[in-house]
């Protein structure tokens, strides 16, 4: 945990049993096809140095290890129990484990929540028994776990290379896929694996904290189908990502499935893209393709981060240089602008036809002298404009392609690259056409932890993850988060009133809440009788006004004829007032009409939307987008978990595809970005202060060159709190 | 060419020398590092059965083959010359080749157009000499060629497996990359390779036609940095794709680089996305990632096409099934809805916990009996709702994962899958975690041409290419193309007048052209004097009118005060007329003002844009998009080469990201899609008839529930034709 500015949290209790000194196998078996046998093999063949206690009352020994009839018969303490018996046995067994002082239990059995209500009930019983005895549960319905640095392997997999990658996966097959991929092409190896199964007790957030502390793990990697407590996970990630990289592949199924949306924000929240935004907010490296999980995790394990997005490319042929430029640009990376001295140094060692602009194309210089590639890498690595170096082409195959005698030069080049990596601290990455056949120079790089890829696309994804992590650490991490405002008595009373009346906030109340906390909202008036309109008309003077009915029973005000626009003068106001009332009464004779809101019409400007939901997985989430079709058709919105930092708010604005519109197009003026950022931060502060607020939609907010107008505001109240 | 409804074109002359019976090596060498030696090795070690004539006046023989002092000394005819000598020798050599009757020359030398004007001049001279002698040129600046079925290998690459993939690549390294990838993981092998180099004589279109005819090639694959004659390429592809698959990787650099855009359409044309749209229009399988070229080419070689997008997934674990669903959806494919009988048949052979909805998760049934996977594939393959079958998971590794004894069952399953493929005609594709380590069952599938992938992402790309090709052949191919209208005398005179006056068409003229060819454009009037306005006002009656200045010298009419909107009645028209004239005179005192256009204001509706450019590479191209920010900010537009089919026009509308807007959102009515399609087809017809028309922008066109209004029309004239 060195290098972190965060106070180290209490050491995770998971260490007690994920690095156990003693293991009981409940349901140990002499039948080689059973998990209770295979786990024994895994421990014994894997040279586990702790104590192994097979529990089986029927046979005296398994694989030469004496068995015990029950947990109680075991002489010493038991850190971890592997439970191989069926679901029905679990409640009693957890009580036994508690009595014995077992710290954690890996429960393989399925037949719990995933099968329906009865299974869910059984799961609760098992959990209650475990909790009563102080036993932590991995699973149930888990594929198992390993901790290779402790020689603990409770899985039925052999020959897994021990290394730096900690992996938590809701799919056992995904572990298997990575292990096989690593066996064939991997650079790094694995530290700890856990299948979290149903996450009954221990969730992704706990495992992430454990991997964050676990000293043999340099990268925490997670395959997630669903988080159970996303809010805690975000908090854990916020603390871990500054210390070590966290890689997440999130499968695309939404967290929530379909739900009735009561606001625009509600309709867009819960999406895959929301999850991605929130994970990135806390520094997670999100991988979108399953075949990039291992390359990205390994790249981060080996190189941790890049200082920025500027990549120098050294190529020995135009084709791959062109592809590389295309892919770097797709990935939001930049082809670094090489300095004049760098170009001169390159010119001195390359043939005249070489291209010195990045991508540097050595144009045949290396055909007879592959070492020149290493020298080029050295030169560009020393350029301050370069954050990472990417060698692209035939390296490793020159001795095959041109002349056997080039092997020596290639091996020397490999050594020079390894030495350069040690010295310069910038990521060096190699794509080679010859990677699939693993010639000696590439094998040498590979052994030295200098990554070699067989796909330009994968290499670029690694560079992207390194740059994004570097930039996160420089810019995003450690930014102060927006503090909650102090809740005001009058506002609390307003919420309480609405709760008592069984309704959400009226628009004017929602705007009052914003005003109460220093959001500039134009002054408005609610009138109950037409007689008040003379004074109102005089007050607003020449401004064009809008009138809207105030009633909890009329949700679609326009449909009910409850809205009139562009009104000026007392006469017009009076006529509109009567119209609205008669329209609304004929729309719904029983509607409880509290009056009519009179508000100045907003000038034309750029429409945006600001929304908040309390996501059942991730907690309060802020959404920002351009209004109208952008949010409705293109779903061009940004999400951040509340509370936000100022960086988060600024990044939300910059993230939109339609951000050019905020900069002013088609003769329209630019939007006041500082005011937008300020609004996002204020909304974050307000939401933190009022748990009564369940959803918020400011739609539209109209942005001007100087300032904003909140035209409509809707706040939905927490129904759970209402019934309380 | 069987199965094609197209009249077979004359057999390509390229056969004469790409499948040569005799080869002269000009610049043959005894130095093993020289191409003139390596090519000899390639021919001799490759068992070339034709005649080889090394030309070298200094040594008597090379590799045991007697040399000749010059071409003239060769006794028999020479089909192909490989020219290894420098650029400066080429002009004379081409004359020699012509005299000798050499049919084609592969010119390796660089130092031509790619080096600047002098090189370009030399290239022209060489071309002229070759043409005079009837010699076709491959290159110059080519990496060479091979035709493995004829044992011709003029490259310096060994052990390339002969097979079905024809490859034309502007990057020699890309060939090398594919060859190495194929050596490691390939299913198919190569037929002919050519590096087109500078395409001085023979371009991609010619090579494509050759591959289309070449009987050993089942898939034509092209790596393209730039087309020289895109229009001919599209024509060739239109003819070849029905006969065999054509795969193109186009590098992202634009065809044109930056150019000053004289219209919205002009600004967006020439993009990578335009090229992709045009290639897809003619049935090309476009690959966007370089590491997908080989898998997609091989998948098409092995399976040609799928009937549709509906994929049945058989999986042995939830994780990969979930990932597969996500990726299928990203790729525009569908998870097939399995019929009730299919589900019942699956239920009969699977454990109760299996999931019978697609993805089918066998949930452990296969752990002890991997053959059940083949039976599941058989059952779903027989379902009419299924177009392709995708097996996902551990297949091939059950005997490693669970018990050695399962190998027999896995091998039998592999045989059953191979047999099923033979029988059912639907694509079967396998993703296996074990693909990287190539266990026997996977090796068996591989040998039998049933493709096995190590990446879900790659497998899905193959399924996508198969579905898109299948749908192209069913729906798009063979649709009649829009005929040109007959050009009208009065319109030709109008173009001639504008040409004489050195200007583009006036808006009213552009609209007249549209009206002349049955595009409904609201009636308008051009007035020269205020006195005409009484009659005009009476004519248009109650309609609100717009007035715009008519002048070739005033391009930005609004800026000049040359536009007035929402006018009603003679008085208003007169005032506006005087205003416009005085504004424009003070804007530009020398402007040639031809009058003022009076047009009815269009009602509100959905704005779209229709544009045409004559792309220097691809010829006339139509663009369609939603108006305003969609085109300006989001660049959400579709392109098609002119002439279009009705299918093309319909597909353009459906392709837009914002297509939901055309269906009507936010209370707006839907757009009249048939009218839009009709407009696109009419514009295609008009553009085909008038080569004088260089660019066209109808912006905006306003779409209503019934019909359209062309609000503004701009036509730019072909400057080249003007000077003629």
**CATH code (residue B663):** 3.30.470.20
Co-location of A679 and A581 in the same domain: no
B436/A169 CB distance under 8 A: no
- Average pLDDT across each block of 10 residues of chain B; the chain has 724 residues. List them in order: 47 90 95 90 92 95 94 95 96 97 96 90 97 96 94 88 96 92 90 95 96 96 92 96 96 48 61 93 95 96 96 90 91 95 97 91 92 98 98 95 93 98 94 93 95 94 98 93 96 95 94 96 93 93 93 89 93 94 93 94 92 93 88 85 96 91 80 96 98 94 95 89 50
Q: What is the pLDDT of residue B447?
A: 93
Q: How many Cβ contacts (< 8 angstroms) between chains A and B? A: 161
Domain-embedded: residue B97 = yes
Q: Is A628 on the interface with B (CB under 8 A)?
A: yes
Domain-embedded: residue A394 = yes
Helices (H) and strands (E) in chain B, counts: 26, 30
Residues of B in contact with A176 (CB under 8 A): 394, 397, 401, 433
Location of structure tokens 């000194």: A21
Give whole-number Cα distances, A389 to A330, B177, B192, in Å: 18, 21, 36
B251/A436 CB distance under 8 A: no
Co-location of A251 and A199 in the same domain: yes
Q: Nearest CB to B394: which of A173, A316, A319?
A: A173
Asked if residue B156 lies in contact with residue B210, where contact means CB atoms within 8 angstroms, the answer is no
Distance (Å, whole) CA A427 – CA A446: 14
Q: Is A317 on the interface with B (CB under 8 A)?
A: yes
Half-sphere exposure (CA, 13 Å, Cβ side) for A323?
31
Find out whether the peptide bond into A483 is cis, omega within 30 degrees of 0. Answer: no
Q: What is the pLDDT of residue B660?
A: 86
Position A344 pLDDT exceeds 70? yes
Domain-embedded: residue B183 = yes
Residues of A in contact with B397 (CB under 8 A): 176, 180
Q: What is the pLDDT of residue B346?
A: 97
Q: Is B394 on the interface with A (CB under 8 A)?
A: yes
Domain-embedded: residue A177 = yes
Asked if residue A184 lies in contact with residue A209, where contact means CB atoms within 8 angstroms, the answer is no
| Of A578, A600, A622, the domain-final residue | A600
Q: Which residue in B173, B282, B271, B164 sits closest to B221, CA to CA?
A: B164
| Best of B323, B354, B403, B455 to mutate (most A CBs within 10 Å, chain A) | B323
Question: In which band, very low, low, confident or very high, does the pLDDT at A723 lie, cut at 50, 70 and 90?
Answer: very low
Token pair for residue B627?
């108006």
Tally of structural domains, chain B: 5
Q: What is the DSSP string of A286-345?
A: EE-SGGGHHHHHHHHHHH---SSSEEEEEESSHHHHHHHHHHHHHTT-EE----HHHHHH
B290/A183 CB distance under 8 A: no
B629/A456 CB distance under 8 A: no
Q: For the residues A475-500, what does the mean pLDDT come to?
A: 95
CA-based nearest distance A188→chain B, Å:
17
| Of B283, B304, B325, the domain-final residue | B304
Domain-embedded: residue A615 = yes
Q: What is the pLDDT of residue B669?
A: 81
| Of A600, A621, A646, the domain-final residue | A600
Q: What is the pLDDT of residue B635?
A: 81
> In degrees to the nearest 10, what's the CA dihedral of B80, B84, B88, B90?
0
Domain-embedded: residue B317 = yes
Q: For the residues A148-176, what does the mean pLDDT come to?
A: 92
Question: In which band, very low, low, confident or very high, does the pLDDT at A156 lie, cut at 50, 70 and 90?
Answer: confident
CA-based nearest distance B355→chain A, Å:
12
Residue A120: CB atoms within 10 Å: 15
Residues of A in contact with B317 (CB under 8 A): 171-173
A291/B251 CB distance under 8 A: no
Tell me the pTM: 0.91
Q: What is the pLDDT of residue B441?
A: 98
Domain that holds residue A34: 1-141
Asked if residue A459 lies in contact with residue A390, where contact means CB atoms within 8 angstroms, the answer is yes
Q: Which residue in B651, B654, B657 sits closest to B636, CA to CA?
A: B657
Q: Is B607 on the interface with A (CB under 8 A)?
A: no
Co-location of A137 and A148 in the same domain: no
Name A291's bridge partners: none
Token pair for residue B644?
């279009």
Read off the pLDDT of residues A210-232 as tens digits, 9 standing for 90 and up: 999 999 999 999 999 889 899 99
Name B153's bridge partners: B146
Co-location of A163 and A207 in the same domain: yes
B171/A326 CB distance under 8 A: no
Domain-embedded: residue B225 = yes
Q: Nearest CB to A326: which of B223, B252, B454?
A: B252
Chain A residue with Cα closest to B252: A326
Distance (Å, whole) CA A31 – CA A27: 11
Co-location of A169 and A230 in the same domain: yes
Check which CATH number belongs to the domain holding A396 and give it. Answer: 3.40.50.261
Give whole-number Cα distances, B214 to A553, B15, B171, in Å: 75, 8, 22
Co-location of B621 and B558 in the same domain: no
Find out whether the peptide bond into A151 is cis, omega within 30 degrees of 0. Answer: no
A457/B172 CB distance under 8 A: no
Q: Is A663 on the interface with B (CB under 8 A)?
A: no
Position A469 pLDDT exceeds 90? yes
Co-location of A157 and A262 in the same domain: yes
Co-location of A148 and A125 in the same domain: no
Domain-embedded: residue B147 = no
B665/A633 CB distance under 8 A: yes
Chain A residue with Cα closest to B110: A353
Q: Nearest CB to B251: which of A316, A326, A402?
A: A326
Position A260 pLDDT exceeds 60? no
B132 by DSSP, 3-state: which? helix
Position A519 pLDDT exceeds 50? yes
A173/B633 CB distance under 8 A: no
Co-location of A289 and A359 in the same domain: no
Chain A residue with Cα closest to B186: A436
Q: Nearest CB to B403: which of A33, A172, A185?
A: A33
Distance (Å, whole) CA A313 – CA A431: 10
Location of structure tokens 């204001």: B601
Q: For the residues A693-705, what does the mean pLDDT come to?
A: 94
CA-based nearest distance A317→chain B, Å:
6
Check which CATH number belongs to the domain holding A566 and give it. Answer: 3.30.1490.20
A628/B457 CB distance under 8 A: no
Chain B residue with Cα closest to A439: B180
Q: Is B423 on the interface with A (CB under 8 A)?
A: no
ipTM value, please give it. 0.87
Co-location of A122 and A159 in the same domain: no
* Per-window interface: A 133-192 vs B, CB < 8 A: 156, 169-174, 176-177, 180-181, 183-185
Distance (Å, whole) CA B227 – CA B248: 12
Residues of B in contact with A458 (CB under 8 A): 291
Q: What is the pLDDT of residue B253?
A: 54
Q: Is A363 on the interface with B (CB under 8 A)?
A: no
Distance (Å, whole) CA B178 – CA B222: 12
Give whole-number Cα distances, B431 to A19, A35, B133, B649, B723, in Å: 35, 26, 54, 37, 61
A180/B628 CB distance under 8 A: no
Co-location of B275 and B319 in the same domain: no
Co-location of B122 and B198 in the same domain: no
């Amino acid at each position: 945990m060195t290098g972190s500015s965060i106070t180290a949290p209490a050491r995770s209790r998971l260490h007690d049993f994920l690095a156990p000194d003693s293991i009981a196998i409940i349901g140990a078996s002499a039948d080689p096809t059973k998990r209770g046998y295979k786990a024994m093999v895994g421990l014994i063949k894997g040279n586990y140095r702790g104590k192994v206690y097979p529990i089986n009352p029927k046979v005296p020994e398994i694989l030469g290890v004496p068995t015990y009839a029950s947990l109680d018969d075991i002489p010493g303490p038991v850190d971890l129990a592997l439970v191989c018996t069926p679901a029905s046995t679990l409640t009693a067994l957890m009580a036994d484990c508690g009595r014995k002082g077992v710290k954690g239990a890996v429960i393989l059995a399925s037949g719990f929540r995933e099968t329906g209500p009865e299974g869910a009930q059984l799961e609760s019983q098992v959990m209650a028994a475990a909790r009563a005895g102080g036993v932590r549960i991995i699973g149930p319905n888990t594929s198992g776990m390993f901790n290779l640095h402790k020689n603990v392997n409770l899985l039925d997999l052999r020959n897994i290379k021990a290394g730096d990658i900690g992996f938590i996966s809701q799919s056992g097959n995904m572990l298997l896929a990575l292990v096989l991929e690593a066996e064939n092409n991997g650079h790094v190896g694995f530290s700890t694996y856990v299948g979290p199964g149903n996450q009954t007790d221990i969730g992704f957030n706990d495992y992430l904290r454990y991997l964050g502390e676990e000293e043999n793990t340099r990268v925490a990697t997670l395959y997630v189908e669903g988080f159970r407590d996303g809010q805690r996970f975000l908090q854990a990630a916020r603390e871990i990502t500054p210390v070590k990289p966290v890689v997440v592949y999130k499968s695309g199924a939404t967290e929530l499935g379909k739900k009735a949306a009561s606001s625009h924000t509600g309709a867009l929240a819960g999406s895959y893209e929301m999850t991605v935004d929130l994970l990135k907010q806390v520094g997670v490296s999100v991988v979108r393709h399953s075949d990039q999980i291992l390359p990205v995790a390994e790249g981060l394990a080996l190189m941790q981060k890049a200082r920025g997005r500027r990549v120098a490319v050294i190529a020995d042929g135009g084709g791959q240089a062109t592809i590389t430029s295309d892919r770097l640009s797709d990935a939001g990376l930049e082809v670094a602008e090489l300095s004049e001295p760098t170009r001169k140094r390159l010119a001195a060692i390359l043939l005249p036809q070489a291209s010195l602009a990045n991508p540097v194309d050595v144009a045949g210089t290396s055909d007879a002298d592959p070492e020149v590639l290493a020298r080029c890498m050295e030169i560009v690595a020393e350029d301050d404009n370069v954050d990472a170096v990417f060698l692209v082409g035939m390296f490793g195959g020159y001795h095959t392609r041109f002349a056997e005698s080039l092997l020596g030069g290639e091996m020397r080049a490999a050594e020079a690259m390894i030495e350069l990596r040690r010295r310069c601290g910038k990521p060096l990455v190699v794509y080679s056409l010859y990677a699939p056949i693993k010639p000696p120079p590439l094998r040498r790089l590979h052994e030295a932890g200098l990554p070699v890829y067989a796909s330009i696309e994968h290499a670029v994804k690694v560079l992207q993850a390194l740059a994004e992590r570097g930039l996160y650490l420089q810019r995003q991490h450690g930014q102060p988060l927006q503090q909650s405002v102090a809740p005001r008595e009058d506002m609390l009373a307003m919420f309480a009133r609405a709760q008592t009346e069984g309704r959400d906030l009226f628009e004017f109340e929602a705007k009052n809440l914003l005003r109460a906390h220093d959001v500039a909202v134009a002054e408005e008036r609610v009138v109950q009788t037409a007689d008040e309109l003379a004074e109102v008309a005089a007050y607003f003077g020449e401004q064009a006004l809008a009138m809207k009915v105030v009633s909890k029973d009329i949700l679609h005000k326009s449909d009910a004829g409850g809205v009139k626009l562009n009104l000026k003068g007392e006469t017009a106001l009076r006529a509109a007032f009567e119209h609205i009332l008669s329209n609304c009464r004929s729309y719904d004779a029983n509607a409880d009409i509290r009056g009519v809101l009179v508000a100045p019409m907003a000038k034309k400007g750029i429409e945006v939307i600001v929304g908040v939901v309390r996501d059942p997985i991730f907690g309060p989430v802020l959404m920002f987008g351009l209004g109208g079709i952008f949010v409705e058709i293109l779903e061009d919105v940004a999400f951040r978990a509340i509370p936000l930092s100022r960086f988060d708010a600024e990044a939300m604005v910059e993230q939109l595809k339609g951000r050019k519109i905020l900069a002013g197009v088609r003769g329209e003026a630019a939007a006041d970005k500082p005011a937008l950022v300020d609004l996002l931060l204020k909304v974050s502060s307000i939401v933190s202060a009022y748990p009564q607020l369940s959803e918020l939609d400011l739609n539209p907010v109209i942005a001007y060159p100087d300032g904003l107008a909140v035209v409509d505001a809707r706040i939905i109240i927490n129904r759970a709190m209402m019934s309380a």
